[in-house]
């Protein structure tokens, strides 16, 4: 038996899958996952899993697994108005699936030799209603964002370039630069600019528990 496989086989995603990330209770958007678990709970009593929620997806984290599952939202609510996502470029079209965008970005990182900076992601399967589910290696959070004055000053040079605006923030940028070195950081920035990757805040960086290396784990970005 595999908990992840059995769980997604029971998940039914609602047509409007997302929430108001400023005002809504995130538990509401997780209800379809909890409902699915109830249907398999007899096979997995007291399974120790949690659900993390971001702007564009939710992440299922099981204590007994070495990976996590990502399920993309297809929009969000702005007060009482449903706003579908439509700006996630996946290599073929603009769509509502930011996880598919991550797969496309990682495939390009592999081809161009930038994979060391990212945590890979791939299609895992489909929910009962055929919503795609993605799998990614489980990493260690949170990352200590304290960095040296030298790294902060080095990163400040990038903030003067309008092409770099919105890629990292004032914490995650210096942290990534210090972890991988300035030469590698320059290479990484070239890739991120080329593929219009943005919104890499501190929660999108994590440590690989096997290698101890800092990497980017959530790189689909976000555009309303």
pLDDT tens per residue across span 57-97: 999 999 999 999 999 999 888 877 888 888 888 888 888 89
Tell me if 118 is assigned to some domain.
yes
Look up the pTM and report it: 0.92
State yes or no: pLDDT of 115 exceeds 60. Answer: yes
Give the best-scoring range by mean pLDDT among 63-67, 156-160, 211-215. Answer: 63-67
Structure-token pair, residue 159 = 């903030």
Q: Residues 76, 159: one domain? A: no
Considering the chain, what is the average pLDDT of its residues? 91
Tens digit of each residue's pLDDT (9 = 90 or more) over 97-108:
999 999 999 999
**How many domains does the chain contain in total?**
2
In a domain, 174, yes or no: yes
Whether 172 contacts 204, CB under 8 Å: yes
Residue 219 forms part of a structural domain:
no
More confident residue, 86 or 1: 86
Residues 132 and 157 in one domain: no
Q: Both 55 and 109 in a single domain?
A: yes
Same domain, 118 and 51: yes
**Rounded distance between C-alpha atoms, residue 27 and residue 50, angstroms:** 11
Domain that holds residue 160: 149-207
Residue 71 or 151, more confident: 71
Evaluate whether residue 58 is within a structural domain: yes
The pLDDT of residue 28: 87
Structure tokens at 61: 């984290």
Question: In terms of domains, do 109 and 62 share one?
Answer: yes
Task: With respect to residue 143, please indicate whether it lies within any of the assigned structural domains.
Answer: no
Contact 134, 103 (CB under 8 A): yes
pLDDT reported for residue 161:
73
Residues 68 and 111 in one domain: yes
Residues 154 and 197 in one domain: yes
Q: Tell me, yes or no, whether 110 lies in a domain.
A: yes
Q: What integer pLDDT is reported at residue 165 of this predicted model?
A: 79
Q: What is the pLDDT of residue 145?
A: 78
Statement to judge: residues 48 and 110 lie in one domain: yes
Helix axes 172-180, 149-156, angle to 10 degrees: 110
Q: Distance of alpha carbon 71 from its chain centroid, rounded?
A: 10
Residue 224 has what pLDDT? Answer: 57
Most confident of 23-27, 58-62, 88-92, 194-198: 58-62
Same domain, 117 and 192: no
In a shared domain, residues 19 and 84:
yes
Return the minimum-mean-pLDDT range out of 50-59, 85-94, 191-200: 85-94
Examine residue 221 and state whether it is found in any structural domain, yes or no: no
**Domain contains 214:** no
117 and 179 assigned to the same domain: no
Both 49 and 95 in one domain: the answer is yes
Say what the pLDDT of residue 167 is. Answer: 92
Q: How confident is the model at residue 124 (pLDDT cuts 50, 70, 90)?
A: very high
Return d(Cα 69, Cα 37) in angstroms, integer: 14
Residue 24 has pLDDT above 70, yes or no: no
Q: What is the mean pLDDT of residues 53-57?
A: 91
Give the residue-averaged pLDDT of 206-211. Answer: 91
């Amino acid at each position: 038996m595999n908990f992840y496989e059995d769980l997604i086989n029971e998940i039914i995603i609602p047509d409007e899958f997302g929430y108001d990330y400023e005002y809504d209770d995130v538990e509401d958007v997780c209800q379809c996952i909890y409902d699915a678990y109830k249907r398999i709970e007899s096979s997995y009593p007291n399974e120790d899993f949690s659900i993390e929620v971001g702007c564009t997806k939710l992440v299922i984290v099981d204590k007994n697994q070495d990976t996590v599952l990502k399920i993309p939202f297809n929009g969000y609510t702005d007060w009482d108005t449903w706003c579908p996502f439509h700006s996630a470029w996946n290599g073929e079209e603009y769509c509502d699936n930011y996880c598919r965008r991550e797969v496309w970005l990682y495939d390009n990182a592999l081809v161009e030799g930038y994979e060391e900076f990212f945590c890979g992601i791939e299609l895992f399967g489909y929910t009962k209603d055929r919503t795609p589910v993605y799998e990614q290696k489980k990493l260690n959070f949170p990352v200590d964002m304290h960095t040296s004055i030298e790294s902060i000053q080095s990163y400040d040079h990038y903030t003067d370039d309008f092409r770099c605006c919105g890629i990292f923030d004032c914490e995650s940028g210096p942290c990534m630069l210090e972890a991988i070195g300035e030469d590698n950081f320059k290479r990484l920035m070239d890739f991120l600019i080329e593929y219009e990757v943005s919104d890499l805040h501190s929660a999108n960086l994590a440590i690989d528990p096997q290698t101890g290396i800092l990497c980017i784990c959530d790189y689909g970005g976000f555009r309303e």
